[in-house]
Each structure stands twice: as structure tokens, then as C-alpha cells.
Structure 1
Amino acid sequence: MAFLFRPAEKIDPRFVEGDGRLDAARALYPDAPTPWLDLSRAAAPWPYPAPNLAADDFARGIDMHAIAALAALAAKAYRAPQSVEVVPLPGADAGLRLLPWLYRSPKRVAFLAPADAGLRAAWEAAGHSTSEIASLDAVGKADILIVDNPGHADGRLAPHADLAAVLPALKRRDGLLVIDETLADADESASILASVARLDSTIVLRSANALHGAGGIPLGFAITSHPIAARFRAAFGANAVSAQAAAFGRAALADAGFAAEQRARLADMGGKLEAALTQAGLRITGGTALFRLAGTDLPHSLFDSLARAGILARPFPKLNALRFSLPKDDADLARLQAALASA
């Protein structure tokens, strides 16, 4: 790709650290065409039609029966074993970021690469030491192992048998296995839940947001044993989930028809996106039903060129790649194709 202007030599760290940084994009690229096309989020571009709340619902206190019904629906939808508990959370990310503060003594925390820089920083801020490991058998003397499965950057899947194999060593150290399955709704085979009878020393985090395209209504679940579930409940309290999020979750998780249709839409548009990226000369180096990871020798230059065209991708400089979520329609796909062609 030949660039018609001098591209930025370095990607602003705000884009590397998280999805959806449109505020930063607008500030750094004020002349970019609008509306911006945000392809940085690992979520479906077609939102679930969330139910409306009556005015009285905003005035009522938390309905614990409604929260219990939400947890039961999540347990059924995620095929959780009967021996575990399901704790609704204000987003799976909130649960992940609370975890470091539930430990009074410093822990050795290992992340399966590529690690989320923001989450790793959260553990370090709480006084723990962190490391990044290339494979599960390199867990070493870590007390806590955190695995995003599927991987948020590249979609890599750690085999369930390999995850089970590292658990005994962690349990001997009174450790913990944390499996972040926030992207697993789009690929049911990715989840470990259907293949285990218990979750001793294990937490599985799920999210109702990615498949249902509802990032504005954070709703997640911690699925784990009773002792760990009790710590989550004590930390978040009874008001962890809003009435709006609970109503959305009950409707969305019970709507198997929408989930099936959404997965079909993802497969169709995912194929189109992959073809467009390949046609532009990019290398598909990873992905899930929700995104494709495209390798390039000059990720900073391509990111800059797309941003000047009003398109935001998620950069992963260490992988020499950009992550593209799915366009919502053929018009957005054509806009991306045009920007890639002129880069």
C-alpha cells in the first residue's frame, strides 16, 4: 500500500488500550468524514431490540426475584453445570477488574498471551505481580491464571483439556483459573461450561453484550463455585445490576431465535469482511465470528489512513495487526473497501 501523506509514526496508546475510543479519534482526526465508522469493538453491529421500561420501573428498588430469574436464564443459556452459581454483574469487565481487589496478599498472576494491557495494569495497581505466558504449560508458579477464551485480540482458542490440565497445579497453591468467555456467545463450542461438572478454583466470565450488540447496557455473569460467588455478591452488593440491564438480559437470554439469527448474520458478514480485507492485500491472522484480525507490515500507517477516512479499527502493534469488527451492512463494507483501496 502506498500512502499519499506522511502517516503517524506511532499509534496513540488510547487506541491500543481499548475499544471504541471515538472521542479520542474525533480529537486527533477533526477533519475525518462523519459519521465515524467504528469497527474497533468486538461486538455484533446489530443490537437486540431491548424492552422498554415503564416509568414506575425507574422508581422501584431492585427486584431480587427478577435478578434470580435473570441468573436462572443465564445458567440455562450458558449450559452451566448444576453445581455452580451464577452471579449477575454490571458487565463482565467489571467482574474482571474487581478480582484484583478481592485478594489481601500479593499474588503472582499469569496471562495467556496476548494479554489485555488494561487488565494487567489493574492487577499491578492492586499490588500483584504479572507476567505474560505464550502457552498454558508455561504457567510455572503463578497463583492465578487468566485466559481470555476466545482471545480478544486474535480469537485464539485454548483447548478445554489444556485448561483442565493446569488446574491441579493452581489448586495446590490455593490458586485460581479465570476464563474470560465474554466473546463465547457467538461460538457456543468455545465455552468450557458444557464439558465440566464443577468449577472448583475456577471462574468463568460471560457477557450478554457481544452477541446482542448491546455495549451500552453492560451485563455480565460470574459463573463459579459457592465460596467465590459469595465474595462477588459481597463486593458488588444487591444493586449490582440495573433494572434496565436485568430486563434486557431476561429478554435477550430467553430469545433463542434471535441468537440463532444473529449467528447467521455474523457468518454472512464475516465472510464478506474477510474477502474485503484479503482483497486489500492484508493477511488474516486470526478472528472469531465477531471480528477478523488482519496482519500488515505497517499497522500504524494503515490505522492512520483509515482514521483519516473516518474509520476506527482496533490496533494491536505487538501483533503487527489491526482488528476489524463486522460492518453492519453492505454500505459500511463498501466504505471500508474504498478506504483500504486508497490507503
Structure 2
Amino acid sequence: MLEHGGNLRDAAREYGRPLADWIDLSTGINPHWYAAPAPNANAWHRLPEADPALAAAACAYYGAPAMLPVAGTQAAIQALPRLRPPSRVVVAAPSYAEHAHHWGQHGHQLRQVPYAQLAGAVDSCDVLVICNPNNPTGERIAPELLLDWAGKLATRGGWLVVDEAFGDTESAASLGQHTNRPGLIVLRSVGKFFGLAGLRLGFVAAHPTLLATLADLLGPWTVSGPAQQVALAALSDTTWQVAMRSRLQQEAARLRQLLAAHGISSQGTDLFQWWPETHAEDFWRHMAQRGIWVRLFRHAERGIRLGLPPNDAAWLSLEQALTAWNKDNT
């Protein structure tokens, strides 16, 4: 299995520090999660039939004409490569590693192409996979350009797959409203913005024919009854959503300013910051020794990604750790 953020048990084991004594900034998941309501008692008893109200709420929230609930976008990432014959596939790099990992299987010919070179790769592939905004770097591609690429791919039966897992604070950039056209597939996650990663719920927006094929492949009862009920409440709670977007915008600015004050020029989204770091492993180890778990990227573009601290004590700990890093490395 590939390495991901959130592997706090590995950190606790390696550094001998109890789980409760860690500040986990390694995932980019909203630390101020949605207060999930208790599901109805029969949600634990009944087989989880698909609730049409959940799909309707998702369509309204994400602005897409049709959506399929899945057990986290990971389920779709693993399944989509199985829906095509061997194809020429380009995955933007660097990006969420599971995309390249799964498209590299099932007979596909895989290339990983830097964001700056994607325009030149569109005419030589059948499938183009992009995270927008990108995880981990926060890079973005304009919706107009993506739609142009989607049209080119569709004329030869190709796909544009856009992973918008971190797109909830940038709704204007989403391609969800355009997914009634063949060949455009958009992935959305409930785990990041709502802070409900443990729910294991995401959505796929695409042409209804493709959604039906994907649903057949995934089989029945893919999303638990409790998960459906919690997600329906979260997707419908516009008051919480508006307030949370404002809060995350303010905290993201605070994080950028804190990093800049310590000589770090970062980029990212309202949920995480990333920067290329020459001494990435040393920085990662320095933070871990102080009980702060950040995401280390060892390969390709070496760098560090960290999410928002959950409370004032965590902000102070991060500031102190950054000050000590500057002192030891100047």
C-alpha cells in the first residue's frame, strides 16, 4: 500500500509518543469537523439502500446534474481504470499518488507529466487525470482550459478525470455542472471540507451512462446507512458551510503568514500549505520530535505539506517548532 498522511500510529510507534500527545497536520482534513448527528436506529439494522435524497443533496451542493455516492473517492479511483480497455493515460505530477498507482494497472500505458507540460500531452493520450486544486502543491488549472481539454479527449472517446477533493472552498472553479457531457468525470470528497474522513464517502459526477456502469461494477450497499444519513445532514446545512468557508479562509491566511514569518514561501488551499523543501526529511524529523506530524514528500518534488492546527495550543506549538527550526538552520 502507498504511504499517506494520517498515519499517526506509525508516528507514535517510531517516536515512542502516545497518540494523544500528537498534533496531526499531515492530511489537509478540516480540523473543525461537522458535528455529525446520531443516525436513526434502523440505519444500523437495515441494508443500506441508496437514498435518493442523498444523491439529490449532493447534486444541489456540488452543482452537478447527476452524482453517484461511493465509499470515498478512493473507491472510484480504484474502479475507473477497470472501465476502459488498455489506454494511453496521463496523470498530472505530482498529485495524489493513488491515481497513478491504479491507472498503472489493467494494461494501461501510464505517463506522469508535470502540470506545466499537460497542454502538450492532451493530444497524445486517451485519459487525462488531474487534481484541481492539486494535492499536494495546490496548483490550479483554469476551468475553461480543462473544458477545452475535455472536449478534445471526448471527440476520440477519451476521458478527463478531475479530482476536486479539495475544491469545496473554490466552488466557482468546479466542473461539476458540465458533467452531463460524455467523457468528463469529476470526483468529490465529503472527508476534506466537512472533516468527516472516517465516514468514507465521496461522489462521482459524470454522464448517467458512465455512472450506471460504475455502479454496476461497485455493486450494492457501497455506502453504509449511517454514512448516508450523516452526509445528508452535512450537505444540507448551508449555514454551517458558509461559516466554515469563512473560518478556513481566515485560518489559511494565518498559516501562510506564520510560515512566511519564518522564511517559508508556501502555496496551497484553504485546508493545507505546501512548499518545496531542500531539507525536507530533516524538517519532517524536527517536527516529529516535537510531536507535530507533517506530510513528507520524498520523491519527485521534495517538499512538505501541512494542514491547519486545530486549536490555539497547536498554533503555539507549531510556531515554537518553526522558531526552533530557524534557529538550528541559520
TM-score (norm 2): 0.92
- Distance in 1 of aligned mates of 2:169 and 2:195: 11
SS in 1 for 2:288: helix
Q: Distance in 1 between matches of 2:20 and 2:238?
A: 35
TM-fit CA distance, 1:237: 2.1
Which of 90, 97, 100 is matched with 1:110 structurally?
A: 90
Question: Tell me, what secondary structure is at the counterpart of 1:216?
Answer: helix
Letter in 1 for 2:147: A
Contact 2:8 2:19 in 1 (8 A): no
Find the aligned partners of 1:58 and 1:34 in 2 and give their Cα distance. 29
C-alpha contact (below 8 Å) 2:73/2:189 kept by paired residues: yes
Question: In the TM superposition, what is the alpha-carbon distance from 1:197 to its structure 2 partner?
Answer: 7.2
What secondary structure is seen at the aligned counterpart in 2 of 1:211?
coil
Matched, 1:207 2:189: yes
- 1:53 deviation in Å? 2.1
The structural deviation recorded for 1:187 is 1.8
Picking from 159, 166, 171, the partner of 2:154 is 171
What SS does the aligned partner of 1:51 have?
Answer: coil
- SS of 2:110 mapped into structure 1: strand
Q: Which residue of 1 aligns with 2:62?
A: 78
Distance across 1 between alignment mates of 2:226 and 2:127? 33
**1:178: how far off?**
0.5
RMSD between aligned alpha carbons?
1.9
Residues 9 and 19, structure 2, Cα contact 8 Å, conserved in 1: no
Q: Counterpart in 1 of 2:138?
A: 155
Residues 36 and 310 in structure 1, CA contact (< 8 A), matched pair in contact too: yes
Q: Which residue of 2 aligns with 1:308?
A: 289
Aligned partners of 1:295 and 1:321 also within 8 Å: yes
The separation in 1 between residues aligned to 2:151 and 2:239, in whole angstroms, is: 39
Contact 2:100–2:112 (Cα < 8 Å) also in 1 = no
User: Secondary structure at 2:286's aligned position in 1?
Assistant: helix
Partner of 1:192: 175
Q: Deviations over 1:105-126 (max 9, x none)?
A: 3211101222333321222233
2:53 to 58, 69, 76: 69
Measure the CA separation in 2 of the matches of 1:305 and 1:278. 18
Instruction: Summarize the alignment of residues 290-309 of structure 1 with structure 2, pairs less than 5 Å apart.
Output: 290-309=271-290
Q: Which runs of 5+ in 2 are unaligned?
A: 326-330
Question: What does residue 328 of structure 2 align with?
Answer: none
Q: Which residue of 2 aligns with 1:337?
A: 319
Q: How does 1:123-272 map to 2 (within 5 A)?
A: 123-134=103-114, 135-139=117-121, 140-194=123-177, 196=178, 198-272=180-254
> SS state of the match for residue 241, structure 1?
coil
Q: Contact (CA 8 Å) 1:205, 1:220: kept in 2 or not? A: yes
Deviation at 1:33, TM superposition (A): 8.8
Secondary structure of the equivalent of 2:186? strand
Summarize the Cα distance change of 1:272–1:115 in structure 2 as closer, same or farther, 3 Å threshold: closer
Q: Secondary structure at the match of 2:188?
A: strand
Q: Which moved more, 1:271-280 or 1:301-310?
A: 271-280
Corresponding residue SS for 1:319: coil
Q: Distance in 1 between matches of 2:278 and 2:93?
A: 20
Normalising by structure 1, we get a TM-score of: 0.88
Q: Aligned with 2:273: secondary structure?
A: strand
**For this pair of structures, how many residues does the alignment match?**
321
Output one character per residue of 1:143-174: Cα deviation in whole Å (capped at 9) or x when no partner.
11001111011111111111112123322331
Distance, in Å, in 2 between the alignment partners of 1:185 and 1:31 is 34
Indicate whether 1:45 and 2:26 are aligned: no
Letter of the structure 1 residue corresponding to residue 77 of structure 2: L
1:90 deviates by 0.8
1:99 alignment partner in structure 2: 80
Q: Residue 217 and residue 197 in structure 1: after superposition, are their counterparts in 2 closer, same or farther (change >3 A)?
A: closer
Q: C-alpha separation between the residues in 2 aligned to 1:210 and 1:276?
A: 22
Contact 1:32–1:309 (CA<8 Å) still a contact in 2? no
